[in-house]
Amino acid sequence: MLAIGPPGGYSSLGPAYAVRIRARPNHDPSPGTPMPLRALIFDVDGTLAETEELHRESFNRAFADAGLGWNWDRALYARLLDVTGGKERIAHYIGAHGAAPALDAAAIAKLHAAKTAHYTDAVAAGLLALRPGVARLLDEAEAARLPVAIATTTTPANVEALLRATLGERGPERFAVIGAGDCVPAKKPAPDIYHFVLARLGLRPEECIAIEDTENGLLSARAAGIPTVITVSLYGGTDRLDAALAVLDHLGDPGQPCHMLRGPSLHGTMLSLAQLREWVEKPNVAPDS
């Protein structure tokens, strides 16, 4: 369970998320008026950090602990990532690959919990770092008093572990809304998790930008109407990303420039909050490719 934030500052609304309470004005612009950027919404796995290889290793450790003869190599795991959600991925593997034994839902949940324990222990031990530009962009948003949020299918415990390990003990509190795990009926590529986050932010989709790394994430955000930036990742691939506002290798940092793979012109060597504002508030900016 995510129980984050100072007393009175957050409202704990269930087992999978927490929400910072903020008063929101009622935005009702005239038709055709460009929307100001009012929030950034981040995916987690592959977006905040390159987590998927550690997830894969944690699955395999849980399988070994349970005495299962299963091993997910990189090629197989890349295919399994088409299925979002760890429990759903295990169930798909059993059904599609004829893996034995055929576990029921309770056994799958237990196996997945063991995997999560391996993963969170590894994250707490410092085995992951934020991707280039993530901490910088979070700092820019915080300085501008622009809310940031999370929309992910991963387990809340995984999110909290990553945020605390990479941003400090109060890392989760930097996010106005955290939507994670099973808090919605359908996981990505369905738009449910983004609808969930938008409702709790009190914002229209066109007032936000989503930052994702996969086709499933892109489909989810765009189905919710949110302009989406892709930062390609180890397992995310670069195909079928035409609906993205921009596709980059990463967000960029001083001394570690990012590269635009597809999309509008980039000012400088890092994707800044000012650049994101321009893309949202001046939607007639033409893409280069």
Determine whether 28 is an active site residue: no
Q: Tell me the C-alpha distance between 187 and 181, whole Å.
A: 8
Annotated catalytic residue 288 = no
Residue 86 burial by Cβ neighbours in a 10 Å radius (0-12, 13-18, 19+):
buried
User: How many angstroms separate the CA atoms of 99 and 63, rounded?
Assistant: 12
Element (H, E) at 19: strand 17-20
Burial class (CB in 10 A: 0-12, 13-18, 19+), 45: buried
- In order of 29, 176, 219, 261, 263, the CA distances from 285 in angstroms are 20, 29, 22, 16, 10
User: 163: helix, coil or strand?
Assistant: helix
Cβ atoms of 147 and 176 within 8 Å: the answer is yes
The position carrying tokens 């602990």 is 65
How far apart (Å, rounded) are the C-alpha atoms in residues 150 and 237?
Answer: 21
CA–chain centroid gap for 234, Å, is 14
The residue count for the chain: 289
Instruction: Give 248's DSSP letter.
Output: E
Residue 259: φ, ψ to 5°? -130, 130
Instruction: Calculate helix-pair angle for 52-65, 86-97, nearest 10 degrees.
Output: 60
Q: Which of 43, 192, 213, 253 is catalytic?
A: 43
Q: Which residues are catalytic?
A: 43, 45
